[in-house]
Chain A
Amino acid sequence: MADAVISIRGLRKAYGDFEAVRGIDLDVERGEVFAFLGPNGAGKTTTVEILEGYRKRSGGEVSVLGEDPQHAGREWRERVGSVLQSCRLDPYLTVRESLALFAGYYSRPRPVEEVIALVGLEDKVDARAGGLSGGQQRRLDVGMALIGDPELLFLDEPTTGFDPSARRAAWDVIAGLRDLGVTVFLTTHYMDEAQRLADRLAIISRGEVVARGTPEDLGDRESRPATISYRGSEGEVRVRTTTPTRTLHELTGRALEDGVDLEGLEVTRPSLEDIYLELTSEAAE
């Protein structure tokens, strides 16, 4: 792929006897928001930390912005921003100071005021990080990752533990990054988060990718059995079918011949959440 920002082939990572990542292939294209979705302990953080250059891999090939993160230097770090899963910011620095501190680490930083607006902390500019809510701290953390004007941003579980309004605020910030042209690699164990933010996603379970695609067609949603339900004379009828068009035609044809109405007729596809739970539990067996 010509414009792959991240390219992974056969990635493996073992900790002693335990294989946390067992042969992953992935490509992330420039400008997209890619979600890496999976339950806790699936290998998400291990993978993202290999991509960020924090961990060494046990096997496979990895290219991030054209370089092997394991050997990448300062120039490469100028182009990459990372938000770690758990990092407490310095409680004694204000929002503006925290951003100014990190701005000094980069050779071409984005203006501090601009980043404050990007992460929606205009009202908290002179508040110390220690006094911010969890959601605000995480947005400041995202701002500190954006201050160097990166091409690629890693977000490791950016909204874990947030209340709904804080999640929504974080989502707005992440959705806004797409307009800046920043490529985003996001890990999450929230289905709705991936569905809401990602252009494409991969589901990881026990160190392996078990499904990939856009949120709409993920896990071959189209080819999974649909359920046709209606109320017949003997009560609720549910038909599982992989060919809903044909089955529906037969059902309605017969009903018309018999002169009966199929009350409450409904065709439903499994939701992304149904598929996710099915896929991650299949792999767990």
Chain B
Amino acid sequence: MTALTLVAHQFRFDQKVFWRNPASVFFTVMFPVILLLIFATVFGDETVDVNGGIETTTYYVPAIITLSVISATMQTLAMSLVIAREDGRLKRGRGTPMPSWVFIAGRIGNSIVVALIMMALIATLGRVFYGVDIPWDRLPAIVVTLVIGAAAFCCLGIALTAAIPSQDAAAPIVNAMLLPLYFLSGVFIPSDQLPSGVIHFADAFPVRHFFEAFFNAYVPATGGGAGVEWGHLAIVAGWGLAGLLLAARYFRWTPRGG
């Protein structure tokens, strides 16, 4: 069996598990949709002073896609890997002839596919309910941005598992890191309303850079170029690489508790 067949095999089952798990479906799929509906309803008639002034709904569609991608990758991976580790399933899998990296590869594939599905879902809802145009001509830039971001946040999620001691600690630790960054990076609150000091602070972290890259790829008002923000993406990729190195050094397959 080729390596690709093995990964496809693992991926098929990881997909089943993802869609059957009520927690992952709610937090990764339903929660972003609910956020979009709430933000669009509450702030729907306003404009955001970004890129020469755009409607709030146009702002929130790429913002919520950004959140969905991070949730499908970093959050989903960190949680599901810690649960599998503490349940003993990672250790169990290591006793089989399957190369260890296939377990991780299957889950990364699962995360990236869910991220793409979420982008399609949020973009469609934005178009149907709020008339936010889907920038078809920039699709290559959008997909490149999403895949680089998704891969980087996958690496960060895998690295983060090393800092999570138990299943119960997984959700609090992941949320304690990401929720403040969503606020500070302009995902929840439009960035024209945030003090510049806050934005500078957020610039130190990958959420802000991924959001900027994705936003500028998605909202045509920025104009010019193919829409790929290589500068921001390089910083995101750098974080991903650091995550990969940390994961390679500190990731563990055996339960930490009990």
A residues bordering B, Cβ < 8 Å? Answer: 52-54, 74-75, 77-78, 80, 82, 84, 86-90, 92-93, 97, 100-102, 104-107, 128, 144, 148
- B2 vs chain A, min Cβ distance (A): 12
In the bound complex, do residue B13 and residue A105 qualify as a contact, i.e. CB atoms below 8 Å apart?
no
Q: Which of A75, A97, A128 contacts B13 (CB 8 A)?
A: A97
Chain A CB within 8 A of B17 CB: yes
In the bound complex, do residue A87 and residue B88 qualify as a contact, i.e. CB atoms below 8 Å apart?
yes
Q: Which of A75, A77, A86, A93 contacts B95 (CB 8 A)?
A: A77
Chain A CB within 8 A of B97 CB: yes
CA distance A148 to B97 in the complex (A): 9
CA distance A104 to B98 in the complex (A): 9
A-B contact count (CB 8 A): 66
- A46 vs chain B, min Cβ distance (A): 13
Q: Give me the 10 closest cross-chain CB pairs, A-B, nearest first.
A: A87-B88, A88-B87, A105-B98, A92-B20, A104-B9, A77-B97, A105-B96, A74-B97, A82-B95, A92-B17
Q: Which of A90, A104, A128 contacts B6 (CB 8 A)?
A: A104
- A219 vs chain B, min Cβ distance (A): 33
User: Which residues from 1 to 29 on chain B have a C-beta closer than 8 Å to any C-beta of chain A?
Assistant: 1, 6, 9-10, 13, 16-17, 20-21
User: Across the interface, which residues of B come within 8 angstroms of A75, CB to CB?
Assistant: 97
Q: How many residues of B contact A (CB 8 A)?
A: 24
Chain A CB within 8 A of B258 CB: yes
In the bound complex, do residue A106 and residue B97 qualify as a contact, i.e. CB atoms below 8 Å apart?
yes
User: Across the interface, which residues of A come within 8 angstroms of B9, CB to CB?
Assistant: 101, 104
B 60-101 binary contact with A (CB < 8 Å = 1; else 0): 000000000000000000000000100111011111111100
CA distance A235 to B83 in the complex (A): 65
In the bound complex, do residue A84 and residue B21 qualify as a contact, i.e. CB atoms below 8 Å apart?
no
In the bound complex, do residue B96 and residue A148 qualify as a contact, i.e. CB atoms below 8 Å apart?
yes
Q: Could you show 11 A-B contacts with beta carbons less than 8 Å apart?
A: A52-B95, A54-B94, A54-B254, A77-B96, A78-B97, A84-B91, A87-B89, A92-B20, A107-B97, A128-B20, A148-B97
User: Across the interface, which residues of B come within 8 angstroms of A52, CB to CB?
Assistant: 95
CA distance A128 to B17 in the complex (A): 11
CA distance A58 to B84 in the complex (A): 29
In the bound complex, do residue B13 and residue A87 qualify as a contact, i.e. CB atoms below 8 Å apart?
no
CA distance A87 to B98 in the complex (A): 18
User: Across the interface, which residues of A come within 8 angstroms of B254, CB to CB?
Assistant: 54
CA distance A88 to B87 in the complex (A): 5
B 137-148 binary contact with A (CB < 8 Å = 1; else 0): 000000000000
In the bound complex, do residue B92 and residue A84 qualify as a contact, i.e. CB atoms below 8 Å apart?
yes
